[in-house]
Amino acid sequence: MTSSVNIYCDESTHLPNDGMPFMVLGAIACKQDKAREVSARMFDIRKKHGLPHSFEVKWSKVSPGQLSFYMDLVDYFFDDDDLTFRAVVAPKGGLNHQAFNQSHDDWYYKMMFYLLRNNLSSEAPVNIYLDKKDTRSGVKVDKLHSVLANSAYDFDRRLVRRVQIVESHHVNQLQLADMLIGATNYANRGLLGQSAAKTALVERVKQRSGKILTQSTLPSEPKFNVFVWRSRGGV
């Protein structure tokens, strides 16, 4: 087997009754032996912009005053060949879970599988880190580990080695995922123009990726991969 891969997963507007049109799941991936280097580079970018070591990168904090900092983070992501990003954009309107004998949670895990399946192979084991969201995080870990391991016939869990809850303010890669998820969600919700800073950041992501963020990329797209899920008969 080759070097392990770390996958850092986050989610945006994922609750069933939050009034938002999309659930967006996203993941930053890098080889395990590159994780410290990625984190160190993000600390360097903070230092360059006079921000404290503890400053948490979040899409919700993008503002005119910090725009150049966030632009540098976008450029860093696209310039670093060790980092990849994948997002699943899932419209929530018209979902009919009852017709498919599933709960909203069941649907959530299906979307998580779509998010992570490209990183599952017999070549490299993976460690998956999820942002802590609520008191049900422990249940989410057990369920997701089971779904992923079974889908990969990894019954002894040699490939999906770890699924662990972490807190984003301690993990730079999760913060980077939050920023890119936020940009993807913002574009899909048709909010461009409402915030000059966020619009500028989305445009930088589009320019660097060569993608429009509102359509699926090719499944093989290695750097910035977007899958816009479409329901079949109201699933």
pLDDT tens-digit series, residues 2-32: 689 999 999 988 777 788 889 999 999 999 9
Angstrom distance (rounded) from CA 38 to CA 33 = 10
The pLDDT assigned to 190 comes to 94
85 forms beta bridges with 28, 224
CB atoms within 10 A of CB 71: 17
69: domain CATH number?
Answer: 3.30.420
Angstrom distance (rounded) from CA 62 to CA 54 = 16
Angstrom distance (rounded) from CA 61 to CA 202 = 14
Residue 233 included in any domain: no
Residue with tokens 């959530």, as numbered in its chain: 108
Residue 234 included in any domain: no
Closest CA to 34 of 143, 127, 146: 127
**Alpha helices, H only, the chain:** 35-48, 67-79, 104-116, 137-151, 172-188, 196-209
Q: Which of the four pLDDT bands, split at 50, 70 and 90, describes residue 235?
A: very low
Q: Which of the four pLDDT bands, split at 50, 70 and 90, describes residue 103?
A: confident
Containing domain of residue 116, as a range?
5-228
How large is the average pLDDT for residues 207-229?
96
Q: Which of the four pLDDT bands, split at 50, 70 and 90, describes residue 101?
A: confident
What are the tokens at 12?
């945006």
Residue 192 included in any domain: yes
Q: In whole numbers, what is the pLDDT of the chain averaged over residues?
A: 90
Residue 15 included in any domain: yes
Residue with tokens 């972490």, as numbered in its chain: 166
**Number of domains, the chain:** 1
The pLDDT assigned to 135 comes to 59
The pLDDT assigned to 93 comes to 77
Closest CA to 216 of 206, 203, 226: 226
pLDDT digits (tens, 9 = 90+) for 146-186: 888 887 777 777 788 888 999 999 999 999 999 999 999 99
pLDDT at position 127 over 70: yes
Closest CA to 199 of 59, 46, 75, 84: 59
pLDDT digits (tens, 9 = 90+) for 26-79: 999 999 999 999 999 999 999 999 999 999 999 999 999 999 999 999 999 999
Residue 119 included in any domain: yes
The pLDDT assigned to 110 comes to 86
User: Comparing 32 with 100, which gets the higher pLDDT?
Assistant: 32
Sign of dihedral through CA atoms 25, 26, 32, 37?
negative
Closest CA to 209 of 46, 30, 201, 171: 201
Residue 235 included in any domain: no
The pLDDT assigned to 134 comes to 64
pLDDT digits (tens, 9 = 90+) for 213-223: 999 999 999 99
Contact 48, 155 (CB under 8 A): no
Side chain identity at residue 3, one-letter code: S
The pLDDT assigned to 31 comes to 95
Residue 52 included in any domain: yes
